[in-house]
A and B are shown apart, each in its own frame.
Chain A
Amino acid sequence: MAVGLVGTSVRRIEDHRLLTGKACYVADIVLPQMLHMAVVRSTRAHAEIVEIRVDKALAYPGVRLVLTGEDVRHLGPLPCIDLFPDSKPALHRVLALDKVRYVGEPIAVVIADDGYAVEDAAELVEVVYRDLPVVLDLGEAASEAPPALLYPEFDTNVANVCRQEVGDPDAAFTDAAHVFEETFRIHRYAAAPMETRGVVADPTGQGGRITLHTSTQFPHLVRAFLGGVLGIPESDIRVVAPDVGGGFGAKCEFYPEEVISVVAARRLGRPVRWIEGRQEHFVATTHAREQIHTMRAAVDADGIVTAVTLRSLTSNGAAMFTLATTPASISSAMLRGPYRIPNYRAESLSVLTNKTPLAVYRGAGHPQAVLCMELMMDRIARDLGIDRIDLRRRNMLTKGELPSDRGTAIVLAGKVVYDTGDYPGCLDQVLELAGWDDRLRRQAEARGEGRIVGLGVACFVEETAIGPYETGHVRVDGSGKVTVLTGASPHGQGTATAIAQLVAEELQIPIADVTVRHGDTDVVADGVGTFASRGGAIAGAAARLAAHKVREKAVLIASELLEAAAVDVAWVDGRAEIVGVPGRGVTLAEIARRATAWNSLPAGLSSFNLDEVAHHQVPGIAFANAAHVVEVEIDRDTGTVRVLDYAVVHDSGRIINPMIVEGQVHGGIAQGLGGLLMEEIAYDATGRPLVSGFQDYFLPTSAEMPDIRTGFMESPTPLNPYGMKGAGEGGTTGAVGAITGAIADALAPLGIRVAGDGPFTPPAVMALLRARGEGVGA
């Protein structure tokens, strides 16, 4: 029945509810006496606050409260959890105090009886500013003489420097036959989940206990952060992540609205609701990606890359948010990907600029690193006349070289030690899947016809399934049904299905008998959350461990019920049977009932209930890998980039549900494609963002997506008992490098060099073509 459930494409148990409109998002929560909050945000990128006039807003009918920075001066700032010991703690305040540092920074909140009045009144809050010089350009911001200091107390805009040092890069450069240098620029864009953020803060619990409903990826961490900022015990706080419509990292941050809504709700003694608008989202929710990497590579006469150095700048925006150094840390730790490159040095700066804070987004720093490394590989191959695949093979770690301590480390996650994988095998497989040789021939033909066709290849290794731990709690009650409580907080991934598969297989029961609950700190006592491709692997391992303990306990109880020795009891189809006597057995329900509190304690047991908790402590990072091959065509007349074909071979260890993993890879590719071809948050010279919503920020649709052929390899990790790695981010990580590589390849014969600088919109590509006299309009 449930034998071999893991590894099969079980239909997602979440979908019926989600697709039939039965989901409950924060915006669906309506509480008695609920009030509405609006946030007054800075319209200036950098200014002193001279005065905030709130009288008119307070006088507006229906307004209950206006709070400004002065009202919460006593509250500490929002925590950043990945600061280094010598980081400059440029932390975000709950509400701006004395100064604003980006357009969109919260200055005040208005609370009113309804959602319309509150926005009317918010318009009546007048803020008098005294403008300061604006710092937007990353190079200028990090320079010795920046236009301004965002935090003069630190005497620099560089908030953090993350360093990596492996081997002796200086010696390698001295001995190098060839040295390559390139500067890669990755533009600023954002996760843009379908559901914006939102909160409902309810202070009406027993004794003033607070329930915060919030669209987050990590409710338990929100509970801890909120308790810390407010100075109240976590036991006075319940955090609920109801259905969450996508997060992609942007909801893996702790936001000011999660604090100020609670402050207001406690002040007024009534629930307070805030739902982020889409326009608001583009200034109020973290952005991502923007980095400049200056990379040098030392190469010997045989095309072996002997050393790489990196100096990177990340535009962190106006404050260090929850996970602020992680993008720079990951790209610096993971730049070398699957390539040996024995000598390495990186210096990655997190730089403060007058923009919305930047943090993690699907892949965090990986996509940028892959883009740089793979474009550099292509450039070395082109300049040295070596086949680009051959060059990769020469430099790639082989299966026999793993595990491999790479000598670098990722903040919070730990040392980079590649565990398992077959990188050259993965490359071989994707070339086969893509029909590489045939594609090269056809590319040559197409070029002969004057078409601009490019092939991109990206091989990468990525950090997944990070710790520190995750919880799983499996309980079988007298109904014989199984409830799993997981510390993961999925928001669209299908993690509940994956966990149900793991537990149902362990207990040999139908998946329909398993209920998975998550996202409520009162239901799930402890947990970490869903991010960094950890849900399925880490929460899955914890749940499976708990289910295993339940099964062992069930066998003990059954042995008493069956009057047989435990060794003579077999677990078959979800029931315990005496070995060799298939007719004599007891069901899971009977066993669970025997263990209830109104019976005597079963012999040999020390606790009642068929109920076990497991903490899966993660001993190290599991590293997934993949290879992507993509073909693009550029329309010479219009500059439009079309992705014609896509092949990917993905290795995320043992797969729980191939359909879900394939979906994750495809969705990830879509986000990589969108970010490269159409998404950008640009700013004007005064620091105002040029994006106001989905009318001018374009996400990809099915019409832009190529057919994707997906292959899998499974290199189990030894870091959890079931060999699983994470699969949530690899699609994006690979797509960014592969598509940029394909565009670069397409344009290379025209003498156009591409080093990031996306997005590759039709006008942007046309400008490249026209600069080289290639476009018809030139």
Chain B
Amino acid sequence: MKPAPFDYESPVTLDDALALLDRPGACPLAGGQSLIPNLSMRRTRPDLLVDLRRVPDLRSIETNAGTLRIGPMVTFAEAAASPEVRDACPLVIEAIRHVGSPAIRNRGTLAGNLVWADPASELPLVAVALGAVLTLRRRDGEREVAAADFLLGAFECAIRPGEIVTSIRFPVAGPGARASFAEVSPRRNAPALAAVAAQIEVVDGKVRAARIVVGGVHPVPLRLTAVEVALEDAGPGTDLPDLGASVAKRAVGSLPDAADYASAVVPPLVGRTIASILAAS
């Protein structure tokens, strides 16, 4: 369980880091919670590992003009403890409860988790649900990509060689926003077999800005727009969890290449997340 040979650099400026990452075979190291085990199993064989730990200003969390900005080296534990995140994006907090163990949350980063694009992990669902935008920086410029466009497949994302994520921006949730995250896994904190991320604003008993995204059905997060619309259009007195579950069942059931188990369990999980949000509202 020892990695294949690689070079290692630990730059102290972002420019130096980007210059190093421009080299062929370079790979950035953030929290290392997925990369290091894969190096050890020799599934990943970079020529050069560029450790971002000493690069300044990558750990900030700030809210500005309706946007929450999370730096690329912010760990799950830091995000979970942040009042800014709690106020702006309760769904992020709900999802982090299901991420790994405390040791993993202490080191693993949100950005690293998105780049790894593991179909069983939680943050990609949240990023798609909330319409997060990632800033990708390379040596000679930067670009912005919406989370839904960033995640391309199992362990596949839109990042190109030489690029790193320099920020994840989430729109600040409206007043009355409540979130719920539910998943099924073989064991607590094991990779999810199926998951649902839900955020809803409930104002005067009326649902607004519903966001329902499910995992496990496809290799990338699947947004259930039909459920969102149904919830927002529902008249007073509607059994919203029941409505959500039945619309989700129709939506997932019509997909040709859906994973069998997740398709079966996602609809009731959708119902449960909605029920949990309503109970807290």
Q: Mark A235-274, 1 if CB is under 8 A from B, else 0.
A: 0000000000000000000000000000000000000000
Find chain A residues with CB under 8 A from B249 CB: 776-777
Which residues of the partner chain B approach A695 to less than 8 Å between Cβ atoms?
A: 37, 191
Cα separation A116 to B261 with both chains bound (whole Å): 41
Q: Is the CB of B190 within 8 A of A638?
A: no
User: Could you say which of A101-109, A349-357, A439-447, A760-768 contacts chain B?
Assistant: A760-768
Q: Compute how far the CA of A703 lies from the CA of B186 in the bound complex, rounded to whole angstroms.
A: 12
Q: Which of B13-21, B68-76, B230-238, B265-273 contacts A (4 or more CB under 8 A)?
A: B265-273
Contact in complex: B187, A638 (CB < 8 Å): no
Which of A116, A280, A703, A766 is B5 in contact with, Cβ under 8 Å? A116
Question: Are A120 and B190 closer than 8 Å at their CB atoms?
Answer: no
In contact, A776 and B268 (Cβ under 8 angstroms): yes
Say yes or no: is A469 at the interface (Cβ < 8 Å to chain B): no
- Choose among A695, A770, A777 the residue with the greatest number of B CB atoms under 10 Å from its CB: A777
Could you say which of B1, B186, B190, B265 contacts A637, with CB atoms under 8 Å apart? Answer: B265
Contacts of B184 in A (CB 8 A): 638-640, 762
Shortest CB distance A500–B (Å): 34
- 1/0 per residue A629-662: CB within 8 Å of B? 0000000011110000000000000000000000
Tell me, yes or no, whether A693 is within 8 Å of chain B by CB. yes
Contacts A638-B265, A776-B264: A761 and B5 contacting too (C-beta < 8 A)?
Answer: no
When distances are taken between beta carbons in the complex, the residues of chain B under 8 Å from A65 are none
Q: In the complex the two chains form, is A777's CB within 8 Å of B267's CB?
A: yes
Chain A residue contacts of B186, Cβ below 8 A: 678, 698, 761-762
A193 within 8 A of B: no
Q: Nearest chain-B residue to A38 (Cβ)?
A: B2
Q: How far is the CB of A60 from chain B (nearest CB, A)?
A: 11
Once the chains bind, are B264 and A704 in contact (CB under 8 Å)?
A: no
Count of interface residues, chain A, beta-carbon cutoff 8 Å = 32
Q: Which residues of chain B in 249-274 are interfacial with respect to chain A, using CB atoms and an 8 Å cutoff?
A: 249, 261, 263-265, 267-269, 272
Q: B86 interface residue, CB < 8 Å from A?
A: no
Which residues of A lie under 8 Å from residue B190 when comparing CB positions?
Answer: 678, 698
Cβ contacts A135-177/B at 8 Å (1 or 0 each): 0000000000000000000000000000000000000000000
Given contacts A279-B41, A775-B264, contact A701 B187 (CB under 8 A): yes
Complex formed: what's the CA distance from A639 to B190 in Å? 16
Contacts of A775 in B (CB 8 A): 264
Do residues B187 and A119 form an inter-chain contact, with CB atoms below 8 A?
no
0/1 string, A697-736, CB within 8 A of B gives 1: 0111101100000000000000000000000000000000
Cα A770 to Cα B194 with chains together (Å): 17
A733 and B187 CA atoms in complex are apart in Å by 22
Do A777 and B5 touch (CB < 8 A)? Answer: no
- Residues of B163-200 at the interface with A, using a CB-CB cut-off of 8 Å, are 184, 186-191, 193-194
In the complex with contacts A119-B2, A279-B41, A701-B265 CB distance below 8 A? no
- Give the number of residues in B that approach A within 8 Å (Cβ atoms): 27
Q: Contact between B4 and A120 (Cβ–Cβ < 8 Å)? A: yes
What is the distance, in angstroms, from A111's C-beta to the closest C-beta of chain B? 15
Q: Of residues A637, A639, A703, which shows the largest number of chain B Cβ atoms within 10 Å of its Cβ?
A: A637
Q: How far is the CA of A357 from the CA of B101 in the complex (A)?
A: 33
CB atoms of B188 and A704 under 8 A apart: yes
A393 contact set on B, CB distance < 8 A: none
| A residues in contact with B265, CB < 8 Å | 637-639, 762, 766, 776-777
Q: Is A773 an interface residue (CB 8 A)?
A: no
Q: How far is the CB of B19 from chain A (nearest CB, A)?
A: 27
Is A277 part of the contact surface with B, judged by Cβ < 8 Å?
Answer: yes
Q: Does A763 contact B261, Cβ atoms closer than 8 Å?
A: yes
A593 contacts chain B at the CB level, 8 A cutoff = no
Q: Of residues A115, A766, A778, which shows the largest number of chain B Cβ atoms within 10 Å of its Cβ?
A: A766
Which residue in B1, B3, B41, B188 is a CB contact (below 8 Å) of A703?
A: B188
Cβ-defined partner of A776 (8 Å) among B3, B41, B267: B267
Within 8 A of A (CB), among B4-30: 4-5
Give the residue name and chain of the B residue nearest to A769 (CB): B264
Q: Which residue of B lies closest to A702 (CB)?
A: B188
Alpha-carbon distance between A508 and B45 when the two chains are bound, in angstroms: 62
| B3, chain A: closest CB distance, angstroms | 8
With A277-B1, A279-B1, A678-B186 given, is the CB distance from A777 to B264 under 8 Å? yes
The yes or no answer to A204 lying at the interface (CB within 8 A) is no
State how many angstroms separate the Cβ of A210 from the closest Cβ of chain B: 26
A37: shortest Cβ distance to chain B, in Å?
A: 13
With A678-B186, A698-B186, A698-B190 already in contact, the answer to whether A766 and B269 are too (CB < 8 A) is no
Q: Which residues of B contact A (CB under 8 A)?
A: 1-5, 37, 41-42, 184, 186-191, 193-194, 245, 249, 261, 263-265, 267-269, 272
Q: A637-B265, A639-B184, A693-B37 are in contact. List 19 more A-B contacts (CB 8 A).
A: A116-B5, A119-B1, A119-B2, A120-B4, A120-B5, A123-B4, A279-B1, A638-B268, A678-B186, A678-B187, A693-B41, A698-B186, A700-B187, A701-B189, A703-B189, A761-B186, A762-B265, A766-B265, A777-B264
State the 10 A-B residue pairs at the shortest beta-carbon distance, nearest first. A777-B264, A637-B268, A277-B1, A703-B188, A763-B261, A698-B187, A638-B184, A119-B2, A638-B265, A116-B2
**16 A-B residue pairings within 8 Å (CB atoms):** A119-B1, A120-B4, A277-B1, A278-B1, A279-B41, A637-B265, A637-B272, A638-B194, A701-B189, A703-B187, A703-B189, A762-B193, A766-B265, A770-B264, A775-B264, A777-B267
